[in-house]
Amino acid sequence: MALFDRLLGRKPNEPNLRPLWHRVVEVAREPQWYARCGIADSIAGRFDCITLVLSLVLLRLEGSAGIRSQTARLTELFVSDMDGQLRQSGIGDVVMGKHMGKLMSALGGRIDAFRAALAEPSDAALAAAVERNITLIEGADAGVVAKEMRVIAAALAETDDAKLIAGEIAR
């Protein structure tokens, strides 16, 4: 692993972000997203929920000068995990790049949409971003998801950098 780290230019004292990645997935798997918020309990809905939570965490990392550099490393863990998931579902090397490109594009688009919407004082813009980017069950209210996103964004803002990197998110 040391050789791999050196090739990627990582310093030996950089923090391990696996606990944070696992916490992102854990939060995205909470039943409330699907039962109360109305995100579809499907492969697409679960991916959407992971990218929703990951987007909020990446925006929090991006907003802190001391840990901003960790956004790329957390995104690498997302890519690695999604690569493994795609391979398990039967996607081969020939088309893997195309699939990963679509997933990364989806994540990037959501980060941009949520960044802009979270800057708005009302939940209307955030609910609209949720409607455009998240697979909801029929009749679900995107405003419920928007409110939960604000709760998580506030919890992330209250979590100090070291605890965040360690995967602890105040809730």
Would you state the pLDDT for residue 78?
84
- List % helix, strand, coil for the chain (3-state, nearest 5): 70, 0, 30
User: 1, 113, 124: which is closest to 59 by C-alpha?
Assistant: 113
Look at residue 39 and give its three-state secondary structure. strand
Which segments of the chain are extended strands (E)? none
pTM of the model: 0.84
Question: In which element (H, E) is residue 4 found?
Answer: helix 2-7
Least confident of 14-18, 71-75, 105-109: 14-18
Residue 129's pLDDT is 97
Q: Of 105, 106, 143, 141, which Cα lies nearest the Cα of 126?
A: 143
What local confidence, expressed as pLDDT, does residue 5 receive? 59
Residue 80: the pLDDT is 77
Task: Tell me: pLDDT of 89 over 90.
Answer: no
Which DSSP helix (H) or strand (E) runs through 99? helix 93-118
pLDDT tens across 111-155, in order?
999 999 999 998 999 999 999 999 999 999 999 999 999 999 999
Domain ranges of the chain: 19-165
Tokens describing residue 43:
């492969």
Distance from C-alpha of 53 to C-alpha of 46, rounded to nearest angstrom: 11
- The chain-wide mean pLDDT, for the chain, equals 86
Arithmetic mean of pLDDT, 12-19:
76
Q: Tell me, letter by letter, the H, E, C secondary structure of 140-158.
A: CCHHHHHHHHHHHHHHHHH
As a whole number, mean pLDDT of residues 76-97 equals 66
